[in-house]
Structure 1
Amino acid sequence: MTTEHDLRLQARLAARLHDPPEKALVLMRTTQGHEGGTVRDLLGDLFPQGLTAAVQQACERADHWASAADRMAFPKRDDDGRYPAWQQVQFADQPVLIHPLTGQAHTLPPLANEIAPAHAQAIGTDHLRQYVIAGDLRRTALALWRFGPELSGDLAELWRLLPADSRVPDHTIHDHLDLTAALASCLAVQSDGGPALLAVSLGPVQDFIAAARSVSDLWAGSHLLSHLSWVAMRVVCESLGPEAILFPRLRGVAAVDLWLLRDQQLKAEWFDQQAWRTTATDANPLFAAALPNRFTAIVPARMAQDIAQRITQAVRQEALTLTRRAFQRLLQAAGMADRPDLYGYQQIERQLQGFPEVHWAAVPWSLAQAQDESGAVIASDSELAAAMQPFFDSQPPGFLTSTTWQHLSGGYKLEQGRFFRPNPGALYPALHELLERVLAAAKATRPFAANSEQGWRCSLTGEAEWITTDAAQLGLPPGQRKDTLWARAAGRFGIRAGEHLSALPMLKRLWPTLYVEDVRAHVQGEQLDRYVVSTHTMALSSAIEQAVQKGIAPPAGLSADPAALPARLAALVRQRNLRDWARVPSWLEAEDDSADNSAEAGERERQQRLRSLKDALGAAPDAYYGLLLMDGDGMGAWLSASSKQTPEVRASFHPQLQARLETRFGVDERFIQYAQSRRAPNPAWHMAISQALNHFALELAPTVIEKNHLGKLIYAGGDDVMAMLATRDLLQAAAQLRAAYSGIKPEEMGAQPLQSGRWEASHNGWARFEGRVLRLMGRNATASAGLVIAHHQAPLGAVLRALRQAEQRAKRMEGKDAWSLAVLKRGGGALYVTAKWGGPLRLLHELRLFLQSDEVSRRAAYHLTEWLHDVPAQAEDLVSSLLAYQMARQARGQAREQAPDLAQRLVKLAFDSEKHPEAAQPLQWLANFMLAAEFLARSSRHQSDASEPSHSTHLKEARP
């Protein structure tokens, strides 16, 4: 007997095979049509008895709805016939790919003579057939979803990007097949009520991540939320398949691959070349916090509430189970017995009540449909408009009043033609618009449950009782907690002496251990582990790298354990066989074990070790490190396609079709208005954004931070990145990261040209990465970053607050697309510099080089900033000439010759209100800019780049 689940699965799989992946290469080039070859052969293999009428109807309707949702429509004349020749575009002869987020067309070399239709069909059939698992439609559907776009050989990159429609080549065939399969599974069972859009959001986010005392806590908070997000998405994937998740895109995400291998039992050899299977260090993609805290899915309308409830139950049960496991591991480490009646279990139940918060909203597609006189299902906006009105106050309901919908709905009939009557797929933008408003309302009305916490509170958050085995211990003040669970476990799992944590901080502290235990068996090679680079190690990393490059041996007698090093430095240490440098950070921080173990003696010992290190290096190492927090600008506007940078409708069309439309309808004012309107936020738009963010976060961000620079990626999920870097690399890494986000050359953002071939921005929105072509957000998408330089002993909580504030300052810039740097000095005080990417960052780099030159006074920046206090604030020309004179006084030789031009550009930038936010105080901004450059120019932060001058000594002060 065929169950409803079986029907959905059959429809989902048949819909995935309704078009072959090679469609663009064979369309109009073979007598059997694109539905012969691969489609005919694979459907015959999987459904030898044929498809039922219900499944066929579901697939056909899903294909039509998906096409209407994804493709910008274009008109035709009444006498054109069904398939007019002027509309036809043969991709093999005129291959063009259009970047959906920029509208830029990229013309490829002709393919007709390179790829014969029969050859393309053979490739497609052979490729997909290897993922057919005889007698198992479920696993076959999963395998085709995961590996269908991944071809090996010369066609691999083109295969991933082949368009679904050669006339509108701004979305891939794989995107179209995903959407069609998702819709078909919701249309196969009549009682399901058709598809619905479901949005789910988990929280809290920022407060949960920010409650951190160490870099490990920071990573654990973000990774744990990403894990819980996957647990939520997994409920949908197990019921309806991973293609049901529209945003974010899940294909190629390591956690999803692990699920396919471990839980869905796909063949292990299919994953053997994936990085998460072969990487035993913490560069393993499984350690990336890759998934955002919210997602959008297509689900059967009848099942939407049930799925949302199962998601809530699943994520809360997962959090509870993990926290209990963490408590049990803590008991084991402390040598204490585990019993069900321990008070800690009661605390965990109470403190995790309602965690995580789960907010959801669902909008049924039935709001967007009606039946015409013949009984056919057509698009209708009457019910949808009524449903939207309460969420738009007095404003008209968004997409429904747009020029695009006025044309597609039949509101306008062109003078010389008409649009096809739309089906409900065309109203996806309005449905998504309503979904966002309903979800926002759900978040605004969330209930709060009060918990009773009476004992001493968590030493990290101060919000809940610390977890204990005995409730009586909660009355003990800090100095009397000698035999608690935490006192016994101190030194394990990163737990510090005196630290007593509540349930969620306890889970975060033990999450690295628990997660590695869960995934270790599925990673090949050496034993998988999670390494934590400390702030102290990061501060020392640039000095250690320079020493290793020069072949300098570390101080003798190092007895400490090796510390985890940034990935690039760890590889260099292994390559040069100077592994003892990894012991230096731990050696510097080691406690004095001599008889005289007073604080004074310990400090004397540390100072002696520091002097020994300074002697080995030839200079004092850096004591500061950098933190970076980058976030895409206006992501809400991008998702709603409401940005002024959204491409016009006509930009979606193949250039040949654009020209023909112009010939036929170019004098029709209504058509011109339609063609020049902004494209709608359809599923292909959302898929393109998600795929671009995946490429950025999962591939380019780790490369920029950990391979191009001395850094450690803390998390990278979507448009959010947090990383720790050596001070000298902070600004360059930020500029490269900003360029990678858009897919443009780093020099445009103020970074130095890339020295490594790991990735290369080749076009607006495109990049090459390890032989692959990545589609990114494009030039119109911008990002802003907060940057902090802090002493390695500064409290992390304070540094994180400064980081968030820096990011907010950057976001407050006109037009955003900015960076803001805070330098938190050990002796007190701070410097703040905020500016745009590009020119200001290049100028800061040039000023740093000037100040670190042997030809410039070591005190030059201080003399110049003191002098600025006496200069009239608004006299730009006077300031420029006087600064040039003063800078020349502080320099000699070639540096003196550079001073006038450098001074002029500095003053021009200081008085340019569009480049920085301190228009009312340009001289104060200029002083901070120069002092920040001086801080970066100090000898402990010099680049070890042979192209830059030597900086071993400095003049006291150069005089004319």
Structure 2
Amino acid sequence: MREHKSEEILMMFSIGPVQEFIAQARRTRDLWFGSYLLSELSIAGAQEFQELGGRLVFPAMAIDTNSEQVEKISAPNKILGIMNTDQPSKIAWQVRRAIQGKWKEYARAAEEKIGRIINIRTWDRQVSDLLEFQAAWTAMQGLHYDEALSKTEQLLAARKTLRDFKQNDPGAMYGEKKSSLDGGRESVWINHDRNIGRLLRLGIKEYETLDAISVIKRLSLVLHPDQERFLSVCETAFLPFQDQIRDVTFIGSAVTDYLHTVNELLGKENLKTINKLDSNSYDARLFYERRIGDYLEECVMVPKEHQENLKDSIANELERMYVQLEKKSRDHQFNFVRPTPYYAFLIADGDRMGEHLRNIKDEQSHIHFSQALSRFALQAAKIMKNHQGQLVYGGGDDVMAYLPVHTCLNAANELRKSFIEILGSVISVPTLSVGIVITHMLEPLEEVRRMAHEAERQAKKTRNALEVHFHKRGGGDLMKVALPFEDNPVEQMKVLHEYKKFFSAQFAYELRRTYQIYKEMDTGSAWLCDPKLLAELLWMEIERLAFKKKPESIDKATFKKQWIPKLKELYDTETEPLERLRILAEQLILTIHLEKVGTTYEETTASKTS
């Protein structure tokens, strides 16, 4: 019998389904837990590979011993390492068992929590069918590291084109309802109507018919009670107004009075939580008329026929408070804005990462590259936290998060700077592209994620760019703004915000229209080919439009002295003239839109008075 000889094998493993598993989410915590759980599975596989004697190349596991939670969030769904073995297939099976074992740990824990409400046959089938695992390996003997890596990647890509087909046992033949989160799977509920109270206590709404995978996601709060509270998109959009409640005395007092009235309307005996509402403990949904019904359904025990009247009463009290605050703010010369229903969803991705990987020539360089990616993922989590954001996923060079609108641009800018600083130690000229969608809290989460991916895809067309899409609730024109990072757009927009009283939306859109006219004339016009002459001509157009659309409240002398020089400074960049005009117009338009959604407030001396 021929003996197998141990040799160094480069092994690569992939865990899925990534996009499908993360995407199917109605709540933000579902979205987070999908990515978190995939990270947990990746870590389990990577640790098993190391325990079997392998040298882990990617991901870099130990990045911050004081921040274990962030480390787990940072794990991507691909594992790469080197093993000295004569049985690579056995190693692959052991890694696969470790990953499946971790997944089934979560499934069993959820099953124990949910109890006899589930159809166990449907549950077991869905749990067993979820995970996809692919493995590929290459013997390194006689090959340089980069050659072995390239060959292994090709083998894994070929393996992914194959599917592990097996006989399915469709639940539809038994008359099972479809899952409300995943139409491809059936609901696991049995005796649903008799257990509604129990489901509500577990965070599952009465009308939700969930499959096994969705149930496990929904029970994340129960399975991970130690996890830091994950803000909803409603709570995230509400954060700017929450700052006003904390910082502005007369707003805080008005909110306290409003919540006292709400407590009286609800009645302590009807609350599902023993905590009374006050200015330090409240639900953001009570400050949005269209979300009051959701709050009542989830937190208040009153008959459905009474909920509508109760909702109307609370909505009337809310409107009365806002009207009073608007009047008092005028008296105090304070820029009061009602809570914005908009928030920002951000997706970032490193540019040309595949190209950078192909330039890696040895194992140690690849390890340094992996360590840099892990440090960036850790830093991305800190940046999101510092900007009141919620990190959904941070694996390698990929970042997914959502934030209040007023912090999203600064967060994007810091992400980009951090990426350049950290990755610059291992690759030349690293750049990051960021896509942001600003959208209404009532938009379906899966659709918001799709829109953010589209913004990121557009940013990556030019690379090193910031693409912002603004989706209005209920339709209307979609605003898209593309800004190259090399022109420091975020810093320029900070300046524009300071000077916002000098320009209007009409001026911004007239500039965009002027750009479009000159862009159409650009082809075949010899007189537009001289950059110096064109720059001077476009500046005269900008100056003319600025005076034409000047706000009536500002006199001409002040306008000319304060705004025109600053506008010229913003226009005079190293970019070619037409592109300068486009970028300036887009920055003005974005500044106007951010102001419209009420994302900031100005603190004045008067605001501290009662």
Normalised by the length of structure 1, the TM-score is 0.52
User: Could you say what secondary structure the match of 1:310 adopts?
Assistant: helix
**5 Å matches for 1:762-773?**
765=424
Aligned partner letter, 1:251: A
- Aligned-residue offset at 1:928: 5.1
User: Could you say what secondary structure the match of 1:285 adopts?
Assistant: helix
Counterpart in 2 of 1:543?
241
Aligned partner letter, 1:890: K
- Aligned-residue offset at 1:715: 2.3
Task: Name stretches of at least 5 consecutive residues in structure 1 with no aligned partner.
Answer: 1-189, 255-273, 277-283, 332-336, 369-383, 385-426, 471-480, 517-527, 562-577, 642-679, 745-763, 766-775, 917-921, 953-960
Aligned partner letter, 1:240: G
User: Could you say what secondary structure the match of 1:821 adopts?
Assistant: strand
1:832 to 471, 480, 501: 480
Q: C-alpha distance in 2, partners of 1:913/1:229? A: 49
Structure 1 residues 638 and 864, CA gap change in structure 2 (3 angstroms): closer
User: Are the counterparts in 2 of residues 784 and 811 from structure 1 also a CA contact under 8 Å?
Assistant: yes
Q: C-alpha distance in 1, partners of 2:159/2:388? A: 43
User: Could you say what secondary structure the match of 1:890 adopts?
Assistant: coil
Counterpart in 1 of 2:158?
441
**5 Å matches for 1:406-555?**
427-449=144-166, 451=168, 452-454=170-172, 455-469=176-190, 482-483=193-194, 487-516=196-225, 528-550=226-248, 553-554=252-253, 555=255
User: Could you say what secondary structure the match of 1:315 adopts?
Assistant: helix
Counterpart in 2 of 1:8?
none
The answer as to 2:6 corresponding to 1:295 is no
Q: C-alpha distance in 1, partners of 2:249/2:45? A: 51
User: Are the counterparts in 1 of residues 70 and 381 from structure 2 also a CA contact under 8 Å?
Assistant: no
1:308 to 77, 92, 115: 92
Q: C-alpha distance in 2, partners of 1:896/1:538? A: 40
Q: C-alpha distance in 1, partners of 2:559/2:238? A: 30
- Larger mean CA deviation between 583-592 and 427-436 belongs to 583-592
User: Could you say what secondary structure the match of 1:251 adopts?
Assistant: coil
Aligned partner letter, 1:885: R
Structure 1 residues 206 and 622, CA gap change in structure 2 (3 angstroms): same
User: Are the counterparts in 1 of residues 389 and 402 from structure 2 also a CA contact under 8 Å?
Assistant: yes
Larger Rg, first or second structure (1 or 2): 1
**5 Å matches for 1:573-584?**
580-584=279-283
Q: C-alpha distance in 2, partners of 1:308/1:504? A: 25
Counterpart in 1 of 2:599?
941
Structure 1 residues 463 and 896, CA gap change in structure 2 (3 angstroms): farther
- Aligned-residue offset at 1:320: 3.3
User: Are the counterparts in 2 of residues 810 and 819 from structure 1 also a CA contact under 8 Å?
Assistant: yes
- Aligned-residue offset at 1:491: 2.6
Q: C-alpha distance in 1, partners of 2:42/2:421? A: 27
Q: C-alpha distance in 1, partners of 2:579/2:48? A: 47
The answer as to 2:123 corresponding to 1:348 is yes
2:400 to 722, 730, 734: 722
User: Are the counterparts in 1 of residues 35 and 393 from structure 2 also a CA contact under 8 Å?
Assistant: yes
User: Are the counterparts in 2 of residues 939 and 951 from structure 1 also a CA contact under 8 Å?
Assistant: no
User: Could you say what secondary structure the match of 2:80 adopts?
Assistant: strand
User: Are the counterparts in 2 of residues 694 and 718 from structure 1 also a CA contact under 8 Å?
Assistant: yes
User: Are the counterparts in 1 of residues 510 and 545 from structure 2 also a CA contact under 8 Å?
Assistant: no
Counterpart in 1 of 2:561?
897
Counterpart in 1 of 2:435?
786
Structure 1 residues 361 and 884, CA gap change in structure 2 (3 angstroms): same
Q: C-alpha distance in 1, partners of 2:391/2:577? A: 33
Q: C-alpha distance in 2, partners of 1:445/1:861? A: 53
User: Are the counterparts in 1 of residues 337 and 601 from structure 2 also a CA contact under 8 Å?
Assistant: no
Q: C-alpha distance in 2, partners of 1:725/1:513? A: 25
Counterpart in 1 of 2:365?
685
User: Could you say what secondary structure the match of 1:198 adopts?
Assistant: strand
Q: C-alpha distance in 2, partners of 1:328/1:735? A: 44
- Aligned-residue offset at 1:601: 5.7
The answer as to 2:543 corresponding to 1:884 is yes
- Aligned-residue offset at 1:198: 0.8
1:819 to 466, 475, 486: 466
Structure 1 residues 449 and 943, CA gap change in structure 2 (3 angstroms): farther
1:213 to 26, 30, 47: 26
Which structure features the higher share of helix residues?
A: 2
- Aligned-residue offset at 1:229: 0.7
Q: C-alpha distance in 2, partners of 1:895/1:730? A: 30
The answer as to 2:499 corresponding to 1:850 is yes
Structure 1 residues 896 and 936, CA gap change in structure 2 (3 angstroms): farther
Aligned partner letter, 2:414: Q
Counterpart in 1 of 2:417?
739
User: Could you say what secondary structure the match of 2:52 adopts?
Assistant: helix
Q: C-alpha distance in 2, partners of 1:351/1:600? A: 42
Aligned partner letter, 2:139: P
Counterpart in 1 of 2:350?
632
User: Could you say what secondary structure the match of 1:468 adopts?
Assistant: coil
Q: C-alpha distance in 1, partners of 2:588/2:215? A: 44
2:39 to 199, 222, 226: 226
Counterpart in 2 of 1:378?
none
Normalised by the length of structure 2, the TM-score is 0.79
- Aligned-residue offset at 1:238: 2.3
1:797 to 441, 446, 449: 446
Counterpart in 1 of 2:517?
872
Q: C-alpha distance in 2, partners of 1:315/1:732? A: 37
Counterpart in 2 of 1:325?
109
Aligned partner letter, 1:548: R
Q: C-alpha distance in 2, partners of 1:896/1:951? A: 31
User: Are the counterparts in 1 of residues 63 and 371 from structure 2 also a CA contact under 8 Å?
Assistant: no
Structure 1 residues 781 and 867, CA gap change in structure 2 (3 angstroms): closer
- Aligned-residue offset at 1:305: 0.8
Q: C-alpha distance in 1, partners of 2:430/2:131? A: 31
- Aligned-residue offset at 1:943: 5.9
User: Are the counterparts in 1 of residues 420 and 431 from structure 2 also a CA contact under 8 Å?
Assistant: yes
Higher relative contact order (CA 8 A, sep 6+): 2
User: Could you say what secondary structure the match of 1:462 adopts?
Assistant: coil
- Aligned-residue offset at 1:598: 5.5
Counterpart in 2 of 1:184?
none
User: Could you say what secondary structure the match of 1:940 adopts?
Assistant: coil
- Aligned-residue offset at 1:705: 1.6
Q: C-alpha distance in 2, partners of 1:507/1:713? A: 20
Aligned partner letter, 1:580: S
User: Are the counterparts in 1 of residues 383 and 411 from structure 2 also a CA contact under 8 Å?
Assistant: yes
Q: C-alpha distance in 2, partners of 1:913/1:795? A: 40
Summarize deviations over 1:441-499 as a string: whole Å, max 9, x none: 111223344632413211012111011237xxxxxxxxxx734x5x3444334322301
- Aligned-residue offset at 1:817: 1.1
User: Could you say what secondary structure the match of 1:872 adopts?
Assistant: helix
Q: C-alpha distance in 1, partners of 2:606/2:497? A: 13
Q: C-alpha distance in 2, partners of 1:914/1:738? A: 25
Structure 1 residues 880 and 683, CA gap change in structure 2 (3 angstroms): same
Q: C-alpha distance in 2, partners of 1:239/1:903? A: 63
**5 Å matches for 1:750-761?**
none
User: Could you say what secondary structure the match of 1:724 adopts?
Assistant: strand
User: Could you say what secondary structure the match of 1:597 adopts?
Assistant: helix
- Aligned-residue offset at 1:627: 1.3
Structure 1 residues 503 and 587, CA gap change in structure 2 (3 angstroms): same
Aligned partner letter, 2:383: V
- Aligned-residue offset at 1:794: 2.1
Q: Percent identity?
A: 25
- Aligned-residue offset at 1:863: 5.3
1:556 to 253, 256, 267: 256
Aligned partner letter, 1:285: V
RMSD value, Cα:
3.5
